[in-house]
Amino acid sequence: MRVCAVIPCFQEELRSSALEVLTKATIVASSSGGRVEAWLVGPTAEKHSSKAAQYGAATLRVMELEVDSEAKGVNVSLGRRIVDAVDELMTQSTAELATEGAPQPPSLLLFDNTELTKDVLGACGARLDAPVIADVVDLSWDGHQCIAQRPTYASKVMSKVHAEGSVILCSIRAGLFEPDEKPVKATTHRYKSRQTDLLGQVLKELVAPEGDTVDLTEAPIIIGVGRGIADETGKDLVAKLATLIRGEIAISRAHFESGMYSHTLLVGQSGKVVAPRLYLALGISGSIQHVAGMSESHTIIAINKDPEAPIFDLADLGIVGDLYQILPALIHALESTQA
């Protein structure tokens, strides 16, 4: 079997979620006698290839996508180009293995579970006529099929999903596997992409989503802000605390609706799924829809004035009290220790 970590490359640094996927790929490959490939696709693909080899990929398939602002045609999304690239890499690598006379092993394609992957995973599955298992928290290969675990019903139930086929696609929830360096000597294969499609669409520009300045899926510390933070005074306290503990701010749907914070910070069933080292839940009741987005956090600390709030069932540490009294005291204590 070949286990292929599919890594979209469009940033200066390789994302930690990509390293986690490589780490999981090496674990699955070593327990099933398979080998690890990294498929690096995007405008910064070449730049990241050596890093992929440091994390266990012995075969690097690199497809650099050129961004050409002068090109004729209309701009196409990076996601669309990645779907094309995965399709092309599958066709070309399969043909190469055939000419080498190597047997055609099943291919397990692993993606991280970012917003970009959510856009492309289904389309990749349709193109390759392959089963897709999204948002996986663990997976293994038993010699014939992929067995994956994924949360369902807003994380109330963990389901075991089996998939068979010559190609299987999975996305892996970020924050669950510690990236583990396993340097190997790698062979690099470079591929040229079709830059324009039949509709004359071409990659002219990468457009960042509006207001999306923070990548919550990569943040080690997240402060989740709920309805208990009710005004500008509370918002200022949260901002001070975030600076002191170097945390990123996320919100419950209460603040999606209040307009106090950007919509892009929503965590939960309708927002982002995160698994930071620390999730500090401030004035969040713990609805199943919110918990669906943060229940896999490594440590959860909740502050809430209601001792019966469901968030305390999930929290590793709970503090019962009024945020408007606790936060100033906490900030004061942190400032004193940092002074």
Ligand X SMILES: Cc1cc2nc3c(=O)[nH]c(=O)nc-3n(C[C@H](O)[C@H](O)[C@H](O)COP(=O)(O)OP(=O)(O)OC[C@H]3O[C@@H](n4cnc5c(N)ncnc54)[C@H](O)[C@@H]3O)c2cc1C
Handedness of CA 235, 238, 242, 243 (dihedral sign): positive
Of the candidate spans 58-66, 141-149, 191-199, 277-285, the one that interacts with ligand X by CB under 6 A turns out to be: 277-285
Q: Residue 310: how many CB atoms within 10 A of its CB?
A: 17
Contacts of 25 (CB under 8 A, 6+ apart): 3, 4, 5, 36, 56, 57, 110
Does residue 266 bind ligand X (CB under 6 A)? yes
Beta strands in the chain (DSSP E): 2-8, 35-42, 59-64, 74-75, 107-112, 132-136, 138-141, 146-152, 157-163, 167-172, 187-191, 201-202, 221-225, 248-251, 278-282, 299-304, 317-320
Out of 253, 261, 280, 300, the residue judged to bind ligand X by CB under 6 A:
253
- Beta-carbon count within 10 A of 123 CB: 17
User: In angstroms, what is the minimal distance from the CB of 169 to ligand X?
Assistant: 25
Looking at the Cβ atoms of 197 and 306, the one nearer to ligand X is: 306
* Residues in contact with ligand X, shown as a per-residue x/- string from 156 to 175 under the rule CB under 6 A: --------------------
Q: With respect to ligand X, which residue has the nearer C-beta, 316 or 322? A: 322
> In the complex with ligand X, which residue's Cβ is closer, 164 or 306?
306
For 59-77, b where at least 16 C-beta lie within 10 A, e where not — what string?
bbbbbbbebeeebeeeebe
* The two structure tokens encoding residue 175: 């924050």
Q: Is 300 in the site for ligand X (CB under 6 A)?
A: no
What's the closest the beta carbon of residue 300 comes to ligand X, in angstroms? 14
Tell me which of 76, 268, 297, 330 binds ligand X, using CB under 6 A: 268
By CB under 6 A, residue 291 contacts ligand X: no
- Contacting ligand X (CB under 6 A), which of 309, 312, 315, 330? 309
How big is the CA angle at 302 (ends 301 and 305), to the nearest 5 degrees?
155
Q: Binding-site residue total for ligand X (CB under 6 A)? A: 26
Work out which of 285, 297, 300, 315 binds ligand X, going by CB under 6 A. 285
Nearest residue to 4 (alpha-carbon basis) of 41, 35, 32, 47:
35
Task: Report which residue type is found at 67.
Answer: V
Q: Which is nearer to ligand X, 139 or 225 (CB)?
A: 225
Q: Which of 8, 125, 151, 271 binds ligand X (CB under 6 A)?
A: 271
Here's the x/- map for ligand X, 75-114, by CB under 6 A: it reads as ----------------------------------------
Please give the span between the terminal C-alpha atoms of the chain, in angstroms, as a whole number.
55
The CB-nearest residue to ligand X is 268
Nearer to ligand X (CB atom), residue 106 or residue 286: 286
**By the rule CB under 6 A, 32 interacts with ligand X:** no
Which of residues 10, 240, 269, 319 is near ligand X by CB under 6 A? 269
**Under the criterion CB under 6 A, does residue 30 sit at the interface with ligand X?**
no
Instruction: With contacts defined by CB under 6 A, name the span among 71-79, 183-191, 226-234, 239-247 that binds ligand X.
Output: 226-234
Residue number with CB closer to ligand X (191 or 324)? 324
Q: Report H helices in 282-322.
A: 288-291, 311-314
Does 63 help bind ligand X (rule: CB under 6 A)? no
3-class SS of residue 132: strand
Per CB under 6 A, 287 contacts ligand X: yes
Rounded distance between C-alpha atoms, residue 13 and residue 270, angstroms: 28
User: How many other C-beta atoms can be found within 10 angstroms of the C-beta atom of residue 143?
Assistant: 8
Return left, alpha or beta for 33; rule: phi > 0 is left, psi -120 to 50 is alpha, else beta: left
Residue 119 is inside which H or E element, if any?
A: helix 115-128
Which residues of this chain interact with ligand X, rule CB under 6 A? 226-228, 252-254, 266, 268-271, 283-285, 287, 289-290, 293, 303-306, 309, 322-324
